[in-house]
């Protein structure tokens, strides 16, 4: 998910002149807020994901358990990336409510709520790029009434369960986003940078004395939002009127 919002680069990045930047620090450090200066140097930090299995277990499985184990390592690292990304996003919007106030709705995720949320970013002459929400929030969109979506879109939603965009703004779903929260982001070139010092690698970590085949997933990355005005938060309660009821 993180790759949708950040540019993957290995160099420092210019900071937007009209807003502050935030970056994930090394483990145990708080998120940094950078207000002055033309360039920022994102800090990088490491992610480890070890996993192992006994040789006897490998022989008992009817599928390639080593491939499955490596895939689980990759999934864990992606979850950790997304967790850090959401923590950075939350810290950024909490410190920037003066410029991007939190948009609220008492009737669920309706079009007016999403429209106001997108306008919060667009007010700063930044294009709205994508909404980010969890699947429960997205289910509100699937139940929009007939006056909210045209018959062709309704049929597409009924057949596929998806509406990929609205007003040209993508809709991205993650189970890590808290319930009752929707984020809006500008385009990656205006939002942030994802420096990669070491891309994801799998290193063998076998223990012959225990008859254990093991791997360690490792990468060293960083995350920085270069313009705090490029992200905004919306919260909601309730549900919109539904054509399904």
Superfamily of domain 2-236: hypothetical protein PF0899 domain (3.30.2320.10)
pLDDT score at 124: 94
Residue 239 has pLDDT above 60, yes or no: yes
Q: Nearest to residue 229, comparing CAs of 1, 8, 14, 20?
A: 20
Report, as an integer, the average pLDDT of 60-88: 90
Number of residues assigned to the chain: 245
Q: If pLDDT is split at 50, 70 and 90, which confidence band does 144 have?
A: confident
Average pLDDT, the chain: 86
pLDDT score at 64: 86
pLDDT score at 171: 92
pLDDT one-digit tens code per residue, 216-237: 999 999 999 989 999 999 999 9
Buried (b) or exposed (e) across 111-138, using 16+ Cβ within 10 A?
A: eebbeebbebbeebebebbbbbbbeebb
CA–CA distance, 199 with 205 (Å, rounded to integer): 18
Q: Nearest to residue 127, comparing CAs of 227, 34, 40?
A: 227
Residue 119 has pLDDT above 90, yes or no: yes
pLDDT score at 200: 93
| More confident site: 242 or 68 | 68
List, in order, residues 6 or more apart from 53 with CB less than 8 Å away: 65, 66, 69, 212, 213, 214
pLDDT score at 65: 87
pLDDT score at 30: 61
pLDDT one-digit tens code per residue, 4-50: 777 776 545 555 556 678 888 766 566 666 655 566 777 888 999 99
CA–CA distance, 59 with 78 (Å, rounded to integer): 29
- Other Cβ atoms within 10 Å of 94 Cβ, number: 10
> Residue 239 CA to chain centroid, in angstroms?
24
pLDDT one-digit tens code per residue, 83-104: 999 999 999 999 999 999 999 9
Q: How far apart are the two ends of the chain, measured CA to CA in Å?
A: 33
pLDDT one-digit tens code per residue, 155-174: 777 777 777 889 999 999 99
Q: What are the residue boundaries of the structural domains of the chain, listed by start?
A: 2-236
Strands in 212-221's sheet, in edge-to-edge order, are 45-54, 212-221, 196-204
Residue 238 has pLDDT above 60, yes or no: yes
CA–CA distance, 107 with 119 (Å, rounded to integer): 18
């Amino acid at each position: 998910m993180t790759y949708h919002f950040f540019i993957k680069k290995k160099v420092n990045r210019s900071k937007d002149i009209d807003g502050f930047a935030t970056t994930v620090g090394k483990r145990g450090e708080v998120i940094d807020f950078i207000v002055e200066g033309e360039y920022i140097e994102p800090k990088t930090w490491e992610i480890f994901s070890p996993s192992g299995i006994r040789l006897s277990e490998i022989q008992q499985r009817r599928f390639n358990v080593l491939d499955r184990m490596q895939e689980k390592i990759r999934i864990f690292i992606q979850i950790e990336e997304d967790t850090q990304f959401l923590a950075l996003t939350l810290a950024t919007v909490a410190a920037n409510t003066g410029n991007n106030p939190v948009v609220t709705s008492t009737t669920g995720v309706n079009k007016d709520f999403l429209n106001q949320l997108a306008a919060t970013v667009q007010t700063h002459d930044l294009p709205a790029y994508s909404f980010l929400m969890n699947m429960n929030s997205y289910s509100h969109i699937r139940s929009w009434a007939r006056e909210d979506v045209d018959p062709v879109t309704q049929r597409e939603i009924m057949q596929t369960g998806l509406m990929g965009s609205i007003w040209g703004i993508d809709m991205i779903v993650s189970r890590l986003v808290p319930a009752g929260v929707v984020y809006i982001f500008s385009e990656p070139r205006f939002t942030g940078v994802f420096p990669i010092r070491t891309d994801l690698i799998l290193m063998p970590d076998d223990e012959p004395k225990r008859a254990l085949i093991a791997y360690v997933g490792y990468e060293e990355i960083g995350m920085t939002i270069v313009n705090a005005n490029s992200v905004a938060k919306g919260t909601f309660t309730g549900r919109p009127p539904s054509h399904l009821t």
